[in-house]
Each structure stands twice: as C-alpha cells, then as structure tokens.
Structure 1
Amino acid sequence: MFRHVLDCIRPHEITPREHWIPDDARTTCAMCNERFSLFRHKHHCRTCGDVVCMDCVTKKVAVSPTADPANVIVCVLCLARRERQFLFQHLSVSVTSPQVAVDFNHPFQNSCFSDAEASHDGTTSRRTQPSKRPSFFRTLVSRTFSRW
C-alpha cells in the first residue's frame, strides 16, 4: 500500500561521503557485530553512514529531481526508523492504541527483513531467504515498534 513511498530515498536523507564512518574504524558490522572478512564485506549505509555487512542492508531507490534514480544501500536500523517515522507522520497511529501490533508475516511490516521488490503487477521479482537474516533484527524491530 505505502511501499512505493518507503522504497524511495530523498536526497536530503543521504549522508555525504565525508560524514561516513571510516572503513578502518570498524572491524565488525555495526548492526550484527559479525567480524568482516574475505566473505563478509564492508558497506556504508547511505542514510547514517555507518559500516555494515550485506546481511544487514537492503537496497532502496534514491530519487532526485536532477539525477536519474539509483539504488542505494540502507541499513535495517535506518529502514526501521524510517518506517516508524512514516507511520507516525502519515497514519496518525496513537502511541497508546491497544490495536498496534507487529505481525512479521504481513508483507508491509516484514519489509525490512526482505529484499523483495514488488513489480508493477504485484508479483515479487526477487526475495532473499529470511533465514539468512539474523534474529537480532526481529528483536530490534519488535522493540522499536513496542515503544509506540
């Protein structure tokens, strides 16, 4: 329903490269604390600038009025923060509402655990297996949503 809005990163949300955390400042992923290696490469989240592994990011589309759309890497923490902010701003979800619950089987709420990209006809073009995502993220987002 709102997926197309959440899939787009606006230019003011992207952290300039000079403000990124330096590669040599991290030996482990800022999200899952897994050690970087030959098989676990360093990537920078384009919204917060932190150094994370590929298991802890998803790709979103950066939209700018002056440039062509481009895929950018966003960490799951920034994505969860962004989704929560969107819900607060646009859906007027009450903080004390007893109806607020996170259903990780719902595709909208589960979007930060999947790299699924829906095509225009509603089918899924690509999906990474949820088992590859550390359970840390379910706990993190569960805690994030439970603070409502």
Structure 2
Amino acid sequence: MKAIGTSMTCLKESDGSDTEDFGSDHSEDCLSEASWEPVDKKETEVTRWVPDHMASHCYNCDCEFWLAKRRHHCRNCGNVFCAACCHLKLPIPDQQLYDPVLVCNSCYEHIQVSRARELMSQHLKKPIATASS
C-alpha cells in the first residue's frame, strides 16, 4: 500500500505478469489510515475538475471566456462555467464539503431535489402518532 495524504491507496503486489492490476476498486481492500477499518468507496471519491486550459467556453451557455468573463469550477461536477451559470452555493457533505461551496445551476437544482426527496422519504418512514383517549 502507498500512503497519500491522510488516505491509503491500495496497490497489488507484482507477480511479474503483464496483466497486473494497480489500484483496486474494492473498498474492502483499502483501510483507513486513522482507524484501520474498511473505508466506503464513496467517502474516498473526489470530483475531478476540468482543467482551465481545456475550457474556452462555459459548459452551460457556451459563452467564451476572456479577461472580463472568468471561469468558475462547480465543486460538485467539476465542469467550468461563467459566473451567471455558476454562482450558487451549497454544502456538499458527500464530498466532505460542509461549508457552502460554489455549484453550477444544474447541480444546485439536482442537489436540492435530491435533498427534498430524502427528507420526504425520512418523513414518510416516521410512525403516525395516534391520539389516545
């Protein structure tokens, strides 16, 4: 295993074959450095940002970036947007982003709908209180 920051990356040992698999996707094979307990794969995933040099236009409205029209990365999807298409903020606990961070309009809407569904689902699972006489 190779330590990177505060997490562990799993590397299989070489058996000399050409079909060697470096970097297992199996979360049960990786251990948390702090607790030595298995880590859920979801907890270790990060959003990969589109590099600035790869984005000359807004991913949503296709306007061209220049000195006065700056690039903004959505912290949820990683795409590059103009300020008009990426100005809203939300916490993203799934990515350990507990303070509000910049998200694009599409991700904002998607996250809000998902959270509303989750809250509704939790509310529907609660037992109905009955009045007793």
TM-score range (shorter-chain normalised) is: 0.3 to 0.5
TM normalised by structure 2 equals: 0.47
TM normalised by structure 1 equals: 0.43
Q: Choose between structure 1 and 2 for higher RCO, CA contacts under 8 A separated by at least 6 residues.
A: 1
Structure number with higher helix proportion: 1
